[in-house]
Each structure stands twice: as C-alpha cells, then as structure tokens.
Amino acid sequence: MEEPAWQQVPELVRELVKQARDYRINATQIRQTCIRAGMGGKVDVLIAELKGSGVISPKLSSLPEVFRAGSPLYELNPSLVIKKGEEA
C-alpha cells in the first residue's frame, strides 16, 4: 500500500472486522471507521487500496440488498480474518 499512514491500516482493518456481519460491510461503515481513525479525507483511496490488496472485494448481491444497505457492499477476505476462539 502506498498509504502514508500505513501504520494505522491494520487497526482500521481490525475495526472493520468487528463491524462486519458474515464478512460483509458497507461503504458507509468503512467511511465512518476511517473518520474515527483520522483518515476521513482518504476514504475512496483506502477502499481502492483495500480492494487492490485483497482485503475487501465488492459484494455482488441483489439490488434489494444494496438498497437496504444504502451504499456499496464489500466482503472482507475470510482467509485474512481469525475470529476469537478460532486461533490455531
């Protein structure tokens, strides 16, 4: 990642994991998490970098699901997430 504040990105991803349901998160949640982390002005760039690095991918879903979320949906890469109680 070319993010100047790259040290904050792992904590940002941990926060996204906490908020995700079934590995799904919407763009509004990502934006709010970025704002809380002091990276609010870089949301679009961060989303692009998270997609490019394989952390998230666009969730291809039905239109009603997207309308309910009110923003684009993304799926966290489940192979990068270790949930409590699942550590090897």
pLDDT at site 79? 87
Angstrom CA distances, 75 to 1, 7, 45, 72, 88, stand at 19, 22, 17, 10, 23
pLDDT at site 43? 86
Domains present along the chain, CATH in parentheses? 6-80 (1.10.10)
- Stated pTM of the model: 0.76
Angstrom CA distances, 3 to 8, 19, 32, 47, stand at 9, 22, 18, 11
pLDDT at site 37? 85
| Range 5-26 average pLDDT | 87
| Predicted confidence (pLDDT) per residue in 29-84, tens digit | 999 999 988 888 888 888 998 999 999 998 876 667 766 767 788 999 988 877 66
> Token pair 């904050």 is at which residue?
8
